Amino acid sequence: MTAPARTTSTATRRPRRSGVRSGEAASGWLFITPVIVLLGLFLVLPVVMAAWVSLSDWTGRGSPFSDDVSFVGGQNYSDLLFGGGLATQDFGTALRNNAWYVVLVVPIQTALSLFLAVMVNRKVLRGSSFFRTAFYFPSVTSSVAITVLFLFLFSATGAVNKTLSALSVNGPNWFADPRGVVHLGLGAVGVDQAPSALAGSGFLGISAWQWLAGPSVAMCVLILMAVFTTSGTFMLLFLAALQHISDEVDEAALMDGTSNWQRFRYVTLPMLRPTLFTVMTLGLIGTWQVFDQIYTGTQGGPAKTTVTPAYLSYTASFQSQQWGRGAAIAFILFAIIVVMTILQRQAIRGRGGDAT
């Protein structure tokens, strides 16, 4: 596309002399080289190394490329996916936890940020910049600081339980409660034990009953934390998009006599489709990688209900010294993220068909 020496230049285009051209090419390469080196060394090379480690039996001492380390093919992957032992169970548990996290966080944060954006978008609203600031501030802080804050707020004698007790509700011991929310709900209607159909061994070493356990109470706090910290960022994305929707379109809709809700649903929402897609994609990518909050707050507990694949990859490598397994988990996670993103792109494109 950038054909260097063949432009049919007119007098007004840049006078191309080979001296200037080669100087430009040299400068171009010079300018871009540091970034290429950095990205190559610290993005490409690591991925290549990790791929090798995931296919080898490196135990953690010395270089992964030394002669002692041998190629074991897909054994690490098959141990994880088909082995059935503790490795598989842990991986299944991590996937289950993260899946529930994603399923809850992405819709909630999308809906909440859209709601906030719509509310804040009203132009007669005075102090809208105050509201924008308030909602966006949590996104600026570090996940570590927020986790520490939530550890305090949701402790057994913390602010949240104090507020709940003022409403005569006995709050659970949030971060120490491993009971799944769905199980709790089912227990409330009398289903206390696993029905025999679901109790057997299911997918990835975890029974279907355990898959359906829902996020644990501790995980719910993490879900709240995620929504709290990301709704501000996405609110801004929606705000920008809303402001680009020309007022003429809205007025036309109004003139047709539509109600507010109809207008929102049939006019505004479709025009927000690209932003919706962006928000949901970013949400998906972010939620499948949750690590910082687990490391700081719960370290996988209680009862392994907040272990996520990212955290499991870390502990398998750095604590159990199973480096091949840790790398394999990371790549499986990569694959999951890519597949999810593609699926989601299809889903959004399919509904309505307009290519934006």
Partner 1 sequence: MTRTNSSRHHRLAGPATIAAAVLALTACGGGSGFDDPTPGATADPTTTEEPTSGEDPGLTGEISVLIGSSGDAETDAVSAAVAAWSEQTGVPAEVNVASDLNQQLSQGFAAGDPPDLFYVSTDNLAGWASNGSLLAYGDQLTNVDDFQPSLRENFTYDDQLFCAPKDFSTLALVINTDAWADAGLGDDDVPTTWDELAAVAATLTTDGQVGLSFGPEYQRIGVFMAQAGGGLVSEDGTTAVADSAENVQALEFVQQLMSDGVVAYPSQIGAGWGGEAFGSGAAAMTIEGNWIIGALRNDFPDTSYQVVELPAGPAGQGTLQFTNCWGIAADSDSQDAARDLVEFLTSTEQQIEFATAFGVMPSVQSAADAFAEQFPEQAAFIASAQFAGGMPTAQGAVDVIADFNAQLEALASSSAQDILGSVQTNLQAALDAQG
Partner 2 sequence: MTATPIHEPAAEPAPVDDDTSSSQPRRPQTWRSRLRGGRAGTSALVYAVLLVLAIMYIYPFLIQVATSFKTDPEAVSNPLALVPQVWSTAAYERLFLRSDFPIWFRNSVVVTLCVTAGRVFFCSLAGYALARLRFPGRGFVFAALVAVMAVPGVVLLIPRFLVVKQLGIYDTFAGMIIPLLADAAGVFIMKNYFESIPRSVEEAARIDGASTFRIYRSVVLPMARPALITLVILSFQGSWNELAHFIVSAESAELVTLTKGVAQLASGQLGQGSQFPLKLAAAVIMTIPVAVLFFVFQRRIMNSTAGAVKE
The footprint of partner 1 on residues 70-99 (CB under 8 A) is 85-86, 89-90
- The count of C-alpha atoms lying within 13 angstroms of the C-alpha of 213, restricted to the half-sphere facing its C-beta, is 28
Nearest to 148 by CA among 120, 175, 116: 175
Q: Does 202 bind partner 1 (CB under 8 A)?
A: no
Task: Indicate whether 143 belongs to the interface with partner 1 (CB under 8 A).
Answer: no
Bridge partners (DSSP) of residue 203 are 206
Q: Which two tokens stand for residue 246?
A: 């020309």
Separation between Cα atoms, residue 150 and residue 165, nearest integer Å: 18
Could you say which of partner 1, partner 2, none residue 301 binds, taking C-beta under 5 to 8 angstroms by partner kind?
Answer: partner 1
113 touches partner 1 (CB under 8 A)? no
317 belongs to the binding site for partner 1 (CB under 8 A)? yes
Least distance CB 297 / partner 2 (angstroms): 7
Q: Which stretch binds partner 1 (CB under 8 A): 1-9, 142-150, 170-178, 238-246?
A: 170-178
Instruction: Give residue for tokens 């809205």.
Output: 250
C-alpha distances in angstroms, 31 versus 4, 20, 23, 25, 256?
18, 16, 12, 10, 56
Would you say 47 or 118 has its CB closer to partner 1?
47
Q: Is 256 in the site for partner 2 (CB under 8 A)?
A: no
Region 253-312 residues binding partner 1, contact defined as CB under 8 A: 301-304
Q: Which residue number, 163 or 201, has a Cβ lying nearer to partner 2?
A: 163
Q: Is 39 in the site for partner 1 (CB under 8 A)?
A: no
By the rule CB under 8 A, 66 interacts with partner 1: yes
3-state secondary structure of 16: coil
Q: Which stretch binds partner 1 (CB under 8 A): 270-278, 282-290, 315-323, 329-337?
A: 315-323
The answer, yes or no, to whether the previous bond of 34 is cis (omega within 30 of 0) is no
Judged by DSSP in three states, 256 sits in: coil
- 77/323 with CB nearer partner 1: 323
User: DSSP states of 90-132 as a string?
Assistant: HHHHHHHHHHHHHHHHHHHHHHHHHHHHHHHT-TT-TTHHHHH
Query: Which of 59, 78, 201, 243 touches partner 2 by CB under 8 A?
Result: 243
Residue 87 carries which DSSP code? H
- From residue 194 to residue 233, what is the string marking binding to partner 2 with x (rule CB under 8 A)? ----------------------------------x---xx
Helices then strands, counting H and E runs in the chain, come out as: 18, 0
Cis amide bond preceding 107, omega within 30: no
In the list 4, 28, 46, 60, the residue contacting partner 1 (rule: CB under 8 A) is 60
176 binds partner 2, rule: CB under 8 A = no
**Interface ranges with partner 1 (CB under 8 A):** 33-34, 37-38, 41, 59-63, 65-68, 85-86, 89-90, 155-157, 173, 175-176, 178-179, 301-304, 317-321, 323
